[in-house]
Every structure is written in C-alpha cells, then in structure tokens.
C-alpha cells in the first residue's frame, strides 16, 4: 500500500460521533463547554475494573434507549408490501404523507431573500413562476399560458393562465407579477438575485392576464430569469412597500404552488399540506421535513422506515443498501448532480494575492484520490464552473493534475521558502498558515478538508479547519467575508450564466461573488455572452471566460458528486433524468391508496 493510500485510509476512517459531529482533531476548532476542565487523578486498578464494568453497562443501556427513541417507526410495523405493480386506476388517488429531512433550517421562506438549499427546497413547493423547466431542461410555461418574443428580441409578453389562485383562494393576476418584479428590483431589497431584472427597461401589466417586459438591448438569459422569479401576492407586498425585508412572507408564505405551509417549528420541522386551490392538483397529501443536521442520523431514520426520500452517502449507496430492509421498500437512484464542491480563496487576503500560490495549491491536491476516498468513486473531478457534458462546458480544460513538485516550484517562484527549517514555508517572516471554514453536517466536506490538510502540509503549508453551524456560517462568515478560505458547493442553474457569482459588480454582502474576484477581461466576456443569441458564438465567450478562471484559480475546484438517492417504492411517478433529476414533476407523484403508509399530521 502506498503512503498516499495509507493517508487516505487514515483520514476517511469512521469519525467519532459527538453531539456536534465534529471530531476534536488537531487543527479543527471545536467549541465545547467541557474545554479546559481539569483532568481527574489517575484511577487505581480496582477503580478501573469497576469503572469499566459500569461504563459498559451504561453504554449498553444508552445505546438501547437511543435505538428505541431515534429509530421507532412513525407507523405500525407491517409485513413488507409488494410494490411491483401499482393497483389499477390508482393514478387519481390522493393522500399519504412523505417524510423527508433537511440538514439545516431555512433562514426564511421568501426565495429571493434566502439563498440556502433548505429555503429553496421548501419554497419550491409553495410558489410558482411564469416559466419552469421540463425533464430535458427546456423552458416551458408554468403559470403562463404562452409567451411571445418580439422580432428584435427586446420584448417578452406573457399571457397568464386564467385559473391560477393563491392558496387563500384569491386570483393571481399580472398585478401580482408586476408587484413581485418591483419588489425584487427595489433599491432597499437585500438580494443577490436582482441583477437580471434590473436590466428591464419597462415592465407593465396592461390587462389582468398580460405581463410585458422590455429590455434596452437583447438579453439572452432574459427568458430563463422568469423561471427563477417566484410570484408573490401584491396585497401582502403592499403591507411593506418600501422594505420587503420586513414582509410577513418570510415566515408566513402565500403562494400559488401545489403546497402550503401549515407548520414551521424553527430548528425542528416543517409541514406542508396540499393546497386545495392549486391548479396543479397535487396528489401527495403532505410533505413533512425534519431538521436532522447529521447524515448518519438521517440514514438511521431511513433504516428505521421513518424517511421516504433521502440522500445517501457514497458508502451507504455502495455497501449498505443490499439488505432486505432496503430492497423490499426502497430503490436507489444515481445521476450526476447539477453542482460542484470547491475551496474558495478570499482574494483580499495577502496569502492568496499571487496567482502562482493559488495554482500551487491546486497542483498539491489529488482530486481523483479525494473522490475515491471520500465519495467512494461517486463523483467527477472538476476543472471549472459548468457541469461536464453540457454545451457550455469547455472540453479543452482539464482539472489541475496532482503534481506536488510543481506546487513547490511555483511557491518558490512566489518567494516562499522554509528559512528556519521548521517544515513550514514562510515569506518576510510570515509563515504560510491559514484556516478554511465549512459548514456543519456535511461529512464529505469535512473529510475533504482533512485530506487537503495533509496534502498542503506535504508542501509546507499549514491549514486549520473550522466547522460552523449553517446559519452562523452564512450570517457571520459568508456575508461579512470573514474567512481566509471556504469549502462549499454551488448548485448550478440550467442557464449557463456565471454573472451573479463571478462578475466584479456582484460583491455586496448579500451577493454571490463571495471571494471578491475581479477581472476586467472576464467581466467583458460575461457581458458579451449575456447578449449573444448565437449559441456557437456565445460558447466562444464562455470558453474564453473559463480559460481565464482556469489560469487564475480563484477557486480550487474539486469534484462534482453524483446525486445518490433512496426513494420509497410506494411513490409512483418519479422518473429521473440526467439533466433534471427527479423534482421537475413533483406535483404528479402519487401513492396508490392501498399503499398509503403514513397518516396526515395535524398542524
């Protein structure tokens, strides 16, 4: 076994499970009330024997109680059901409840004020947009009946369907669309999503079913942008006309989507119920989300039968899903996710100002080795910002190869050397030492950071790891740009427009250019790509943009993981595609009445 393989095996061995699931290892900062307590005196041999016996008795009872409390199914035990063929005439059956989990709670439920995945997941059931994407990521109407684009490409006219209402029964009209547009573009609205809508020169609602927008010049992502704007009720927006940040919609959403919020206990759970006024006529009665900030605990709940759809860790997908408890009730799904994991450098930090340093850090990492160790092979190495296999992806670029010698050479060229023989590079008396911050609950990111820590140590760089609870991470670290480096992931939209994440104008605290990247040539290429309708020419601009990023390495791109899911077999209608995954047709999912498993919960 090579030293590299030994290192991987050591670093990805099962982590000890604590309340905060953060192993107290060297270089990892853990907040604990127990820190600093004096150690007790050494026990005698007799005391050790008695303590050991007592310890294992308590441990056994604790594990038994934990198993009984954490893994008790929320439905009576029943013999395994045969889910091979849905009962006849069951496609119109309604009811049942789907149990799901979230790693972290949402900060709010107004989509363009809250950017985290949990908020998007919940709000996606509550709201509609003018447009949406089908299974092949083609834009199609959602609440519009049709749309027309003018010959000069500057005007889009949407005609709304005439049977759309909010969940309180009031009609949704073009006035609501116009009010939503005005809310997201209001100067007081703190949102990273306003950029596309600020390009609208004129927005109008000439009739209750007509909404029209005109741009100063043709704008390629214009149509796709209206798939991203969830329509809010004007009557509620009017309650806080100059400050949507104070709207009640953040905690009491009112949408036209297939479900409505009936309960939200912060940090505990979210209950959604089928919207009786929905034009989509959802068939699943309820979606019930529990906040479980640990993937191992989520898997225990899946194993106990308490979860219906769950993400699987690669180890579980590969090795823990062949048992009868799984195969009798669940099926596995796998497709390349629309996202990637990366380390981002704070480009205002002196350590990362030199391109050669960032390149060196990229050469120091064995991406495929990390994928094999952390994801058990369930991922692809990443070279840039777009999903491999899509038209916008630059096939000429490859991930930086693992080359520690090249890394040392670049660092030496940048003036870094170990002048005092302590094994750590220094420059002008400053050692190369930094901290990466990542979020609690994502074990793959933590293990990735631990492996990277060893790679960097091998070239004379010391990296510490700090793990933070999600809301603290977003509020204190991301928005305040209070980090040396971050380990995070991006979920990619179907429209290949990197503007919001990479343009130099998008660096405000609520915006997504978190690392402060600024390159005039890159800005020009992004601007040109946004106004070029010819896809071949647009690809030229995007390819050149990706080449700049590949050279600059403002991110250390790591991998695109495969989405690995466990789905209960009683759910009918789930049909995954490589492009869109499974969520594109959620309102059409149903459970045949004879297969109903979970009763409706009371709000």
Residue 480 pLDDT class (50, 70, 90 cuts)? very high
Q: From 465, 551, 499, select the one nearest 194 (Cα to Cα).
A: 499
Select from 301, 400, 310, 417 the least CA-distant residue to 359: 400
CATH number corresponding to 128-239: 3.90.76.10
Name the region of 27 (left: φ>0; alpha: ψ -120 to 50; beta: rest).
left
Q: What pLDDT is attached to residue 2? A: 39
Q: Where are the beta strands (DSSP E) in 238-338?
A: 259-265, 269-274, 284-291, 309-311, 330-336
Confidence at residue 471, expressed as pLDDT on a 0 to 100 scale:
84
Q: Looking at the predicted structure, is the pLDDT value of residue 16 above 60?
A: no
Residue 98 tokens, joined: 């789907």
Read out DSSP for 460-494?
T-EEEEEEE-HHHIIIIIITTT--SEEEEEEEPPS
Q: Which of 563, 570, 565 is nearest to 596 (CA)?
A: 570
> Where in the chain do CATH 3.90.76.10 domains reside?
128-239
Low-confidence winner among 86-95, 245-254, 358-367 (lowest mean pLDDT): 86-95
Cα first-last separation, the chain: 56
% the chain with pLDDT above 70:
86
Name residue, tokens 């119109």.
92
User: Which position has the higher pLDDT, 165 or 72?
Assistant: 165
- pLDDT of 35 strictly over 60: no
Q: Has this prediction a pTM greater than 0.85? A: no
Residues 6+ apart with CB under 8 A from 37: none
pLDDT band at 82 (very low <50, low <70, confident <90, very high): confident
Alpha carbon of 315 to those of 12, 13, 245, 372, 563: distances in Å? 11, 11, 42, 11, 13
- Mean per-residue pLDDT, 207-236: 96
Q: What is the pLDDT of residues 273-320, one digit of tens each?
A: 999 999 999 999 999 999 998 889 999 999 999 999 999 999 999 999
Which residues have a Cβ under 8 Å from the Cβ of 270 and sit 6 or more positions away?
102, 106, 122, 261, 263, 264, 288, 289, 291
Q: Are 144 and 160 in contact (CB under 8 A)?
A: yes
Q: What is the structure's pLDDT at 548?
A: 98
Is the pLDDT confidence value at 538 over 60? yes
Dist CA 447 CA 13 (whole Å): 9
Other Cβ atoms closer than 10 A to 369: 17
Which residue did the predictor score with more confidence, 280 or 29?
280
For the ranges 73-87, 114-128, 134-148, 550-564, the lowest mean pLDDT is seen at: 73-87
pLDDT in tens, 36-71: 323 333 333 333 333 334 433 444 444 444 444 444
pLDDT at 96: 97
Give the separation between CA 271 and CA 284, rounded to whole angstroms. Answer: 13
Best CATH choice for the domain 95-103+254-336+564-595 from the list 1.10.357.10, 3.40.190.10, 3.30.750.24, 3.30.70.270: 3.40.190.10
Tell me the two tokens of residue 315: 């180890």
What DSSP assignment string belongs to 341-394?
EEEEE-TTSGGG-SHHHHHHHHHT--HHHHHHHHSTT-EEE--SSS-TTSTTS-
How many residues in total does the chain contain? Answer: 603
- Select from 282, 256, 279 the least CA-distant residue to 123: 256
Q: Using CA atoms, how far apart are residues 561 and 552, in angstroms rounded to an integer?
A: 24
**Better-predicted residue by pLDDT, 272 or 9:** 272
pLDDT confidence band for 80 (50 / 70 / 90): low
Residue with tokens 């395994």, as numbered in its chain: 80
pLDDT confidence tier of residue 78, bands split at 50, 70 and 90: low
Token code pair at residue 115: 């950017």
Q: For residue range 453-470, what is the model confidence (pLDDT) as tens digits?
A: 999 999 999 999 999 998
Tokens for 342?
């990366």
Tell me the per-residue pLDDT of 154-190, one tens digit each, with 9 for 90 and over: 999 999 999 999 999 999 999 999 999 999 999 999 8
Region 224-245: what's the mean pLDDT? 94
pLDDT at 73 over 80: no
Condensed to tens digits (0 to 9), the pLDDT of residues 211-225 reads 999 999 999 999 999
- Within the chain, all domains assigned CATH 3.40.190.10 are found at 95-103+254-336+564-595
Average model confidence (pLDDT) across the chain: 87
Residue 31: per-residue pLDDT: 30
According to DSSP, the residues that pair with 572 across neighbouring strands are: 590
Least confident of 50-64, 100-114, 352-366: 50-64
**pLDDT for 92 beyond 90:** no
């Amino acid at each position: 076994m090579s030293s590299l393989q030994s290192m991987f095996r050591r670093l990805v061995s099962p982590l000890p499970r604590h309340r905060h699931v953060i192993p107290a290892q060297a270089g990892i900062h853990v907040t604990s009330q127990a820190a600093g307590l004096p150690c007790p005196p050494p026990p005698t041999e007799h005391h050790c024997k008695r303590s050991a016996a007592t310890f294992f008795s308590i441990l056994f009872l604790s594990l038994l109680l934990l198993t009984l409390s954490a893994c008790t199914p929320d439905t009576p035990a029943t013999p395994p059901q045969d889910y091979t063929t849905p009962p006849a005439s069951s496609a119109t059956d309604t009811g049942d409840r789907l149990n799901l989990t979230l790693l972290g709670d949402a900060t709010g439920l107004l989509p363009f004020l809250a950017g985290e995945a949990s908020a998007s997941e919940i709000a996606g059931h509550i709201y509609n947009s003018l447009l949406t994407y089908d299974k092949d990521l083609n834009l199609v109407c959602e609440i519009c009946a049709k749309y027309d684009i003018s010959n000069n490409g500057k005007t889009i006219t949407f005609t709304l369907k005439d049977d759309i209402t909010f969940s309180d029964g009031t009609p949704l009209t073009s006035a609501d669309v116009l009010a939503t547009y005005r809310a997201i573009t209001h100067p007081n609205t703190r949102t990273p999503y306003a950029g596309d809508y600020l390009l609208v020169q004129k927005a109008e609602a000439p009739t209750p079913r007509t909404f029209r927008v005109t741009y100063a010049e043709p704008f390629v992502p214009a149509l796709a942008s209206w798939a991203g704007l969830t329509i809010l009720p004007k009557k509620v927006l009017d309650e806080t006309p100059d400050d949507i940040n104070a709207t009640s919609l953040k905690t009491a959403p009112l949408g036209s989507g297939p479900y409505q919020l009936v309960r939200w206990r912060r940090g505990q759970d979210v209950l959604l119920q089928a919207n009786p006024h929905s034009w989509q006529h959802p068939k699943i009665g309820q979606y019930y989300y529990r906040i479980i900030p640990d993937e191992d605990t989520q898997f225990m709940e899946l194993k106990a039968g308490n979860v219906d759809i769950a993400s699987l860790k690669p180890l579980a997908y590969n090795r823990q899903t062949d048992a009868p408890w799984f195969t009798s009730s669940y099926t596995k799904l796998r497709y390349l996710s629309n996202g990637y994991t990366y380390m981002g450098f704070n480009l205002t930090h002196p350590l990362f100002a030199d391109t050669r340093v960032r390149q060196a850090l990229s050469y120091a990492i064995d991406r495929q080795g990390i994928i094999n160790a952390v994801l058990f092979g369930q991922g692809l190495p990443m070279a840039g910002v777009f999903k491999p296999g899509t038209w916008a992806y630059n096939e000429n670029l490859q991930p930086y190869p693992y080359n520690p010698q090249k890394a040392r050479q670049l660092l030496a060229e940048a003036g870094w050397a170990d002048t005092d023989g302590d094994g750590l590079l220094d420059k002008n008396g400053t050692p190369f030492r930094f901290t990466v911050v990542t979020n609690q609950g994502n074990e793959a990111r933590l293990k990735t950071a631990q492996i990277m820590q060893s790679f960097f140590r091998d070239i004379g760089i010391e990296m510490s790891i700090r793990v933070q609870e999600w809301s603290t991470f977003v509020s204190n670290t991301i928005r305040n740009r209070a980090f040396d480096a971050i380990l995070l992931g991006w979920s990619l939209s179907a429209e290949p427009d990197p503007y919001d994440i990479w343009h130099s104008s998008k660096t405000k605290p609520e915006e997504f250019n978190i690392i402060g990247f600024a390159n005039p040539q890159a800005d020009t290429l992004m601007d040109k790509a946004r106004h070029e309708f010819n896809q071949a020419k647009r690809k030229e601009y995007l390819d050149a943009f990706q080449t700049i990023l590949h050279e600059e390495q403002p991110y250390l791109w790591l991998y695109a993981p495969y989405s690995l899911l466990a789905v209960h077999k009683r759910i009918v209608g789930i049909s995954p595609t490589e492009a869109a995954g499974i969520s594109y047709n959620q309102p059409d999912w149903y459970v045949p009445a004879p297969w109903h498993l979970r009763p409706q919960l009371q709000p």
